[in-house]
Amino acid sequence: MYDVYGVIGYPVKHSLSPVIHNLGFKLLGLKSVYGTFEVSPENFEQAVIGIKALGIQGLSVTVPYKERIMKYLDEIDKTSSEIGAVNTVVVEEGRLLGFNTDWIGVLRAFEENGITLKGKQVVVIGAGGAAKAVVYAVKKAEAKEIVIYNRTYQKAVELAQKFGGVPKPWDELNKAEGEIIIQTTSVGLNSKESVVGPEVLLRFKVAMDLVYSPLKTTFLTYAEEKGCKVIDGLQMLFYQGIEQLRLWTKKSLSQESLSIIQKELYA
């Protein structure tokens, strides 16, 4: 019997999550498979209702459904409620349980790079779904101050109010300063655009970009040129995925297995 897992989103055809999970299951010695469920918005409700009937054991939830899925779940853990988004569904005894591992992915990515957020001045660019988990994580790690810039200012205000941050207008982004800068918008995805120029990155020590296609975004290229330590978008994807595997299987991967998956992800 092969247990079935997958990622639900739109689009998801190019997702790298199957690489993490199929290899993860194999290394854990499990007969489980992970696929992509590309579900268009008009079919979303029917697809979610079908999870139990199909016997699917767990799902990753991605753009644009991390908020929309919440009302269909039997239970949502406290952190996901606080963040306001679910990226992981665990099916347990026929019940759909919602979790959020994105914020854990952010924290692990910093930890594994030996970077402490505690007491730091942090700038977050963007106030969409991904930014929520980032700001939650940075707050949890006790950063000194979180400054949020977003194209739509009102969303920066709302996010800042929710978790305790300072909203700033988009046209002031070129004045941003601090120690750590985290890029959460879709700018740079499959393009050479960067939300900021190299002169801004010069003022920071660490730069993280959640975009991982291309892996070396223009934002990270500028950051590296200006001497920042850089954390690419695959790192968060990797660590949030490893946490999903743990929630689904209740097993932990060895350090060696983690290295194997990471190598495959970057191949």
Shortest Å distance, C-beta 250 to ligand ATR = 28
Nearer to ligand ATR by Cβ, of 62 and 262: the residue is 62
CA distance 150 to 2: 44
Nearer to ligand ATR by Cβ, of 69 and 253: the residue is 69
Number of Cβ atoms within 10 Å of the Cβ of 257:
16
Nearer to ligand ATR by Cβ, of 23 and 234: the residue is 234
Q: Count Cβ neighbours within 10 Å for each residue of 41-76 and write b for 16 or more, e otherwise.
A: eeebeebbeebeeeebbbbbbbeebbeebbebbeeb
Shortest Å distance, C-beta 72 to ligand ATR = 19
Q: Contacts from 189-196 at CB under 8 Å and sequence distance 24+? A: 189/213, 190/214, 192/218, 193/218, 194/218, 194/219, 194/222, 195/125, 195/219, 196/125, 196/222
CA distance 244 to 58: 9
Binding site for ligand ATR (CB under 6 A): 63, 126-131, 150-152, 155, 184-187
Nearer to ligand ATR by Cβ, of 15 and 150: the residue is 150
The binding site for NADP(+) consists of 126-130, 150-155, 210, 233
Number of Cβ atoms within 10 Å of the Cβ of 99:
23
β-strand pairing of 95-99 with 121-125:
unpaired
Left (φ > 0), alpha (ψ -120 to 50) or beta: where does 79 sit? alpha
The binding site for shikimate consists of 15-17, 62, 87, 102, 212, 240
**Does residue 216 carry a catalytic annotation?**
no
Shortest Å distance, C-beta 87 to ligand ATR = 10
Please pick, among 13, 31, 52, 66, the residue that the annotation labels catalytic: 66
Shortest Å distance, C-beta 2 to ligand ATR = 31
Residue nearest to ligand ATR (CB): 128
Shortest Å distance, C-beta 154 to ligand ATR = 9
Q: What does the angle CA 80 – CA 141 – CA 196 come to, to the nearest 5 degrees?
A: 90
Nearer to ligand ATR by Cβ, of 17 and 249: the residue is 17
Task: Return the bridge partners of 35, or none.
Answer: 6
The binding site consists of 15-17, 62, 87, 102, 126-130, 150-155, 210, 212, 233, 240
The alpha carbon of residue 100 and the mean position of all alpha carbons in its chain are separated, in whole angstroms, by: 9
Residues annotated as catalytic (active site), given as ranges: 66
